[in-house]
Amino acid sequence: MSTIVKTDFTFPGQTGKYVGKVRDVYTVGDLIVMVATDRISAFDYVLPAGIPFKGQVLNQVASAFLDSTRDILPNWKIACPDPSVTVGHRCEPYKVEMVIRGYLTGHAWREYKAGKRTLCGVALPEGMKENQKFPEPIITPTTKADEGHDMDISRKEIIARGIVPEKEYEQIERYTRALYERGCRMADGRGLILVDTKYEFGSKDGQIMLMDEVHTPDSSRYFYKEGYEERLERGEHQRQLSKEFVREWLMSCGFNGGAGQTIPEMTPEVVGSISDRYIELYEHILGEEFRKEDRTPEQMRENILACLGSLQK
C-alpha cells in the first residue's frame, strides 16, 4: 500500500503554497487546492510514517459533511477532483479554532483530572467522571497557530484582543452549536456519539464561511453508542473511532510531545492498524463501503489540473 506524504506541485496561476501538519494547500488566484496527504500528527508533531488511505478518508468524509451542512451556512468547497483533494474558495481565516465538547474526555479530562474547573473561561461542574456527558455542550476555542502548539483561549480574550470582532464571534458560536447538533444527529443514526469536534471559519466578500475539514477522525472524536452507559458506569474506556487511540498508543510508549522525547517506532503492524481504524470510521459514519483508490502524485496532479482548467474558463 503506497502513501502520499508530500506533494510538490506547480499550477498555472499559483501564488502560494502552505504545508500544514497534514495538508498541503496551494493558492491559485481566488481558489484553494487542499491536498489531504497521508501524514498523521499527534501532540502537534508529524509522525514519521504515512498512513495508507488516510488522506482519502479525511477528504471524502469532510466532503460529505460539507455537502450535508450547506443549509446551515455556506462553505468553501467547490469540487473534489481527486479522492484526496478539494478545490474551493480562498477565504480570510479567523485565527481561532472553534472546539465544541459534549463530553468530558481527552484534553478536557486531562485538565479536569489535574484539578482545573475552568476551561477557556467555561466553568466545569464538580464530580464528573471521564467520558461523562456535559449538561450542555461547551465551546472551548483555541488559537490557530501557524507553527507550534495551539493554545486554549476564552471567548472574552478573543473579543478583548480583537482576534475576532464580537458580532462575528457571536455568529460563529451560533454556527458552531448548529453544526455540532447536526453532526450529533447524523452520528446517532449510525450508532455513534459525536463526542467533540472543531470547526474553522473564514470570511469571503463579507460572508462567514465554513472552512477546512468537518467531522473527520482528525477533527472529531466518536464513541460507539452501544455500551456507552455501561462502560461509563464501570469506569471503563469507551470504544471509540477517533485519533485519540493514536495519542494513547504514543503515551503508552512514553511519548506525549514533551521536550527531548523520541517518537516510538511505527511498525508495519501499527501503521496498518491505524489505517484500518480510519477506514472503519469512514464506513460507520457514512454508512457505505470504503473504496481504496491507490494512485500516484502525477495522477493526482492531472486530476487537479483538469478541475482548475474547467473552473478558470
Domain boundaries of the chain, sorted by first residue: 93-242
Residues 198-216 have a mean pLDDT of: 96
pLDDT value at residue 192: 94
How far is residue 248's CA from residue 130's CA, in Å, rounded to a whole number?
15
- Neighbouring C-beta atoms of residue 156, cutoff 10 Å: 10
Q: Assess contact for 104 and 238: CB atoms under 8 A.
A: no
Residues 77-88 have a mean pLDDT of: 97
Reply yes or no on whether the pLDDT at 29 is more than 70.
yes
- pLDDT band for 259, please (50, 70, 90 cuts): confident
Residues 4-8 have a mean pLDDT of: 95
What average pLDDT does the structure give for the chain?
94
DSSP secondary structure code for residue 190 in this structure: T
Residues 123-140 have a mean pLDDT of: 97
pLDDT value at residue 78: 98
Point out the least confidently predicted range of 8-12, 85-89, 182-186, 255-259.
255-259
- pLDDT band for 146, please (50, 70, 90 cuts): low
Q: Assess contact for 33 and 19: CB atoms under 8 A.
A: no
Reply yes or no on whether the pLDDT at 268 is more than 80.
yes
Reply yes or no on whether the pLDDT at 164 is more than 70.
yes
How far is residue 112's CA from residue 191's CA, in Å, rounded to a whole number?
28
Cell numbers for 243, please give them.
485519533
pLDDT value at residue 63: 97
How far is residue 93's CA from residue 303's CA, in Å, rounded to a whole number?
26
pLDDT value at residue 147: 56
Residue 146 region by backbone torsions, left for phi larger than 0, else alpha for psi between -120 and 50, else beta: alpha
pLDDT value at residue 101: 98
Reply yes or no on whether the pLDDT at 144 is more than 90.
no
pLDDT value at residue 14: 96
pLDDT value at residue 49: 93
pLDDT value at residue 44: 82
Residues 114-122 have a mean pLDDT of: 97
Q: Residue 26: what are its φ and ψ, rounded to 5°?
A: -110, 135
CATH number of 93-242: 3.30.470.20
End-to-end Cα distance, the chain: 37
pLDDT value at residue 154: 97
Reply yes or no on whether the pLDDT at 13 is more than 90.
yes
pLDDT value at residue 244: 76
pLDDT value at residue 145: 65
193 vs 145: which has the higher pLDDT:
193
* Share above pLDDT 70 across residues of the chain, in percent, rounded to a whole number: 98
- pLDDT band for 245, please (50, 70, 90 cuts): confident
